Amino acid sequence: MVEVLQAGFYTSIQDLGRFNTQHYGVPLSGVMDVRAAAIANNLVGNKANAALLEMTMTGPKLQFNEDAAIAITGAHLTPFINGKETSRNKCIYINKGSILSFGVSKLGVRGYIAIKGGFKTKKVLGSRSMYKAVTPICILKKGTLLQIHPSEASPADFFSKLKVKEQYLKSEFLEVYKGPEFDCLSAFEKEKLLKNRFTISKNNSRMGYQLLEPLQNDLTPIITSPVLPGTVQLTPSGTLIVLMQDCQTTGGYPRVLLLTPQAITVLSQKKMNDSVFFKLNE
């Protein structure tokens, strides 16, 4: 059992999400940085869909009431065990009674804590990913108790250490496909969209990232149609909104671009005032 002593800014349990519930209006959810989450699960010998903790900007303070093997990946949130700095991107053994805490993020936004066996919260509609009105709680709070699956992995399955490439945490390029309404844009609008630098606004969350610089356009709203995470919507007033894992299942704004899965991981590590460029994948 792991007890939450402090929750951090926005800490939730995530796995790979709900794949076939969009027709109920239930979002996909799941980890924002699939890559960092996969590395964390790998390091402790978990399957790719094991539930782990996603932390945002500031990490939680956790007390381990049993021995555990964990791995911390993603954003550079300095981890401490019992006040002593410890490593990221490595399988760490943590003793019963120990306290895991974090410093502020030096690079990136979202970090992951995988635990050998995976967190054992209630599975709802096929997933443990927390989402308001779907799971009993949507973020961790002080006092939340988390159970851990007894592990099936043997120590031999672990990658004790992994050389992790983290250049993507600094990347400003978001690789994109053309969205369904891309060709409704004029040549001038297309050029601006693909050449200009865009700044992340304060409205950024697991639902979506709004960009600061408007893109004046003459597009007409579309008849409400399905949307997928990674979709870049363009509103009549010119706001660009990049939909993320917790986004609505349908939308009425033109879908001008769609981020590649890699670009979603890049954007999920961006915060207010960071900037990005779109780069067309052809």
Of 58, 135, 245, 269, the residue at the interface with another protein (CB under 8 A) is 135
Measured from the CB atom, is 17 or 111 closer to another protein?
A: 17
Find, among 161, 107, 144, 183, the residue nearest to 2 by Cα.
144
Q: Rounded to the nearest whole angstrom, what is the least distance from the CB of residue 199 to another protein in the complex?
A: 24
The answer for residues whose C-beta is within 8 angstroms of residue 172's C-beta and 6 or more apart is 197, 274, 275, 276, 277
205 touching another protein, by CB under 8 A: no
Residue with tokens 């709004």: 210
For residues 142-166, one letter each, b for 16 or more C-beta atoms within 10 angstroms of the residue's C-beta and e for the rest, the string is eebebebeebebeeeebeeeeeeeb
Q: Rounded to the nearest whole angstrom, what is the least distance from the CB of residue 239 to another protein in the complex?
A: 15
83 touching another protein, by CB under 8 A: no
Binding map of another protein across residues 257-276, x = CB under 8 A, - = no contact: -x-xx---------------
Binding map of another protein across residues 164-183, x = CB under 8 A, - = no contact: -------------x-xx---
Q: Of the ranges 24-32, 100-108, 151-159, 211-219, which one interacts with another protein (CB under 8 A)? A: 24-32
Measured from the CB atom, is 156 or 223 closer to another protein?
A: 223
Q: Sign of dihedral through CA atoms 87, 91, 95, 101? A: positive
Find, among 183, 143, 187, 173, the residue nearest to 270 by Cα.
173
125 touching another protein, by CB under 8 A: yes
N- to C-terminal Cα separation, the chain: 48
Find, among 165, 162, 171, 166, the residue nearest to 40 by Cα.
162
Q: Rounded to the nearest whole angstrom, what is the least distance from the CB of residue 105 to another protein in the complex?
A: 29
- Say if residue 96 is exposed, middle or buried (CB neighbours under 10 Å; 0-12, 13-18, 19+): exposed
194 touching another protein, by CB under 8 A: no
Q: Rounded to the nearest whole angstrom, what is the least distance from the CB of residue 233 to another protein in the complex?
A: 13
Q: Rounded to the nearest whole angstrom, what is the least distance from the CB of residue 16 to another protein in the complex?
A: 10
Measured from the CB atom, is 169 or 184 closer to another protein?
A: 184
Q: Rounded to the nearest whole angstrom, what is the least distance from the CB of residue 262 to another protein in the complex?
A: 10
224 touching another protein, by CB under 8 A: yes
Of 84, 85, 133, 218, the residue at the interface with another protein (CB under 8 A) is 133
134 touching another protein, by CB under 8 A: yes
Q: Of the ranges 70-78, 150-158, 193-201, 244-252, which one interacts with another protein (CB under 8 A)? A: 244-252
Q: Total number of residues binding another protein (CB under 8 A)?
A: 31
Footprint of another protein (CB under 8 A): 19-26, 124-125, 132-135, 177, 179-180, 222-226, 228, 230, 248-250, 255, 258, 260-261
